[in-house]
């Protein structure tokens, strides 16, 4: 069974827990897009591990983890991540971690170019994590990026990096940002790459071998569908395809290899950073923040919160081909008397069931809400779907109906046992 897990909102949906649950029965865990701007915290056997680029199967023995060709790889960042995990007693061998020779490389200069772009955008800035992900993908599309395979040929890499650095320095100088010495940068990248070299291989071939052998392959999505470069709330998006198609183009495993797509969403909506958020609600934000919920894991910044937005979820389910929903954080709504679900947008007097493309239309989109009764009881102790209060099941049924997708998992707390399995694919 080959399974794609994608977030259906703007990230932070709780994918980590669903991925962790599914990793147990996976033989191979693969990442196909994004870079080390993503990441989640996994608690395993009482220890906390932070993963950015490494697939979550790295915490298990006997699983193959693959960084697919669609990922942009920062060698310095990845080595730091590997060393941190090794320090926590996790062995990372060439059998356990495979890195695609086709991955594009995130260079130190890309991080400064990220800063330069944000500076140039001023008020219109995207709020990137400044990890150089956008500029690395831009170089890929511009066809002047460097790939992992190029790092294998040291003199070629040095020569190409000298060209790229000269170009980048012109841009950086314009913004009074630090410029780069090509030689020093090459030394740093190549020093880090020495640790990664034994892991580099043709991952497309390895993945096809696993597929043909009938292994269970789990595609671990990063970020969320609304951050997808094509299907998200452009321009407030990330630089890759976070939706299910990206799992195929980013790994070399074709659409015909996919058996199921699990879309993860919260029972409400949250968003960090800039961009449209029609169902944002101050009352719900205050309520969740008062419970100590929805603060960013690394920044501590309060996330914006709002009602479940079925317009966005419907769109997400369509473009992902979602076969089952995993609805997390249901427990967050335990004590809210009346809940709202956004079922459409009113834009200039016309009802829309799907999100608009026109970025200005978002400012005029008024949510059309349906009210449903809350359940006013603690769900955190529920261990089976049938234990859930009737109103919780009613809420989930309505969501399923609005998205035309069955509910497969329900999350009622951060613990593993608080993941309820509704139906198996």
- Where along the sequence are the contacts to ligand GDP (CB under 6 A)? 7, 11-17, 40-41, 328-329, 331, 411-414
* Tokens describing residue 208: 């096809």
CA distance 339 to 277: 17
* Tokens describing residue 7: 């977030």
- For β-strands 28-31 and 419-421, DSSP reports them as unpaired
Least separation in angstroms between CB 127 and ligand GDP: 16
- For β-strands 217-224 and 28-31, DSSP reports them as parallel
Least separation in angstroms between CB 337 and ligand GDP: 20
Q: Is the dihedral of CA 272, 273, 279, 281 positive or negative?
A: positive
Closer to ligand GDP by CB, 310 or 412: give it. 412
Residue in the block written with tokens 């659409």:
255
The region, left, alpha or beta by phi > 0 then psi within -120 to 50, assigned to residue 57 is alpha
* Secondary structure tally for the chain: helices H, strands E: 12, 20
Per DSSP, what are the bridge partners of residue 354? none
Catalytic residue among 20, 40, 104, 228: 40
Closer to ligand GDP by CB, 257 or 320: give it. 320
Closer to ligand GDP by CB, 7 or 304: give it. 7
DSSP tag of 107: P
Q: Is the Cβ–Cβ distance between 281 and 308 less than 8 Å? A: no
The region, left, alpha or beta by phi > 0 then psi within -120 to 50, assigned to residue 99 is beta
Whether 384 is catalytic = no
Whether 208 is catalytic = no
Closer to ligand GDP by CB, 51 or 116: give it. 51
Least separation in angstroms between CB 6 and ligand GDP: 10
Least separation in angstroms between CB 295 and ligand GDP: 10
Least separation in angstroms between CB 410 and ligand GDP: 8
Least separation in angstroms between CB 62 and ligand GDP: 23
Closer to ligand GDP by CB, 192 or 327: give it. 327
Integer CA distances (angstroms), 45 to 13, 81, 334, 415, 416, in order: 23, 19, 28, 12, 11
Residues 6+ apart with CB under 8 A from 371: 338, 339, 340
**Nearest Cα residue to 420 out of 295, 392, 59:** 392
Residue in the block written with tokens 């608690």:
43
**Nearest Cα residue to 372 out of 342, 352, 331:** 342
Least separation in angstroms between CB 350 and ligand GDP: 33
Closer to ligand GDP by CB, 109 or 312: give it. 312
Closer to ligand GDP by CB, 309 or 331: give it. 331
Query: Collapsing DSSP states into helix, strand and coil, what is residue 256?
Result: helix
The H-or-E segment that residue 49 falls in is strand 47-51
**Nearest Cα residue to 116 out of 183, 176, 45, 181:** 176
- What amino acid positions are annotated as catalytic residues? 12, 40
């Amino acid at each position: 069974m080959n399974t794609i897990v994608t977030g259906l909102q703007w990230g932070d949906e709780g994918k980590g827990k669903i991925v962790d649950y599914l990793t147990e029965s996976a033989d191979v865990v693969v990442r196909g897009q994004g870079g080390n701007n993503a990441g989640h915290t996994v608690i395993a056997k009482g220890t906390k591990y932070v993963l950015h680029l490494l697939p979550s199967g790295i915490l298990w023995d006997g699983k193959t983890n693959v960084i697919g060709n669609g990922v942009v790889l920062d060698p310095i960042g990845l080595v730091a991540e590997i060393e941190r995990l090794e320090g926590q007693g996790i062995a990372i061998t060439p059998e356990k971690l495979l890195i695609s020779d086709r991955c594009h490389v995130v260079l130190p200069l890309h991080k400064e170019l990220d800063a330069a772009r944000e500076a140039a955008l001023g008020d219109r800035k995207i709020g990137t994590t400044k990890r150089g992900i956008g500029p690395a993908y831009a170089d890929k599309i511009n066809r002047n990026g460097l790939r992992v395979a190029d790092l294998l040929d040291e003199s070629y890499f040095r020569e190409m990096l000298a060209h790229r650095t000269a170009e980048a320095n012109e841009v950086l100088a314009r913004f009074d940002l630090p410029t780069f010495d090509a030689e020093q940068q090459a030394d740093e990248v190549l020093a880090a790459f020495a640790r990664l070299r034994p892991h580099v291989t043709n991952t497309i071939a390895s993945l096809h071998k696993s597929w043909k052998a009938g292994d269970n392959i789990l595609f671990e999505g990063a970020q969320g569908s609304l951050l997808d470069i094509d299907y998200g709330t452009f321009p407030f998006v990330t630089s890759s395809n976070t939706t299910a198609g990206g799992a195929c183009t980013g790994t070399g495993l074709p659409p015909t290899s996919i058996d199921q797509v699990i879309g993860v969403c919260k029972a409400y909506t949250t968003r960090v950073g800039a961009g449209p958020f029609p169902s944002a609600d101050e009352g719900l934000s205050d309520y969740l923040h008062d419970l100590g919920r929805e603060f960013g894991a690394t920044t501590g910044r309060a996330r914006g919160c709002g009602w479940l937005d079925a317009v966005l979820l419907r769109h997400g389910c369509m473009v992902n081909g979602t076969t089952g929903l995993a609805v997390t954080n249901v427990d967050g709504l335990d004590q809210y008397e009346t809940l709202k679900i956004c079922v459409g947008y009113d834009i200039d007097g016309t009802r829309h069931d799907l999100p608009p493309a026109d970025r200005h239309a978002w400012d005029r989109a008024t949510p059309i809400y349906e009210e449903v009764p809350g359940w006013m009881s603690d769900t955190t102790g529920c261990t089976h779907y049938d234990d859930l209060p009737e109103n919780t099941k009613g809420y989930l049924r309505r969501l399923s109906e609005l998205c035309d997708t069955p509910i497969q998992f329900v999350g009622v707390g951060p613990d593993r046992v608080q993941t309820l399995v509704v139906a198996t694919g």
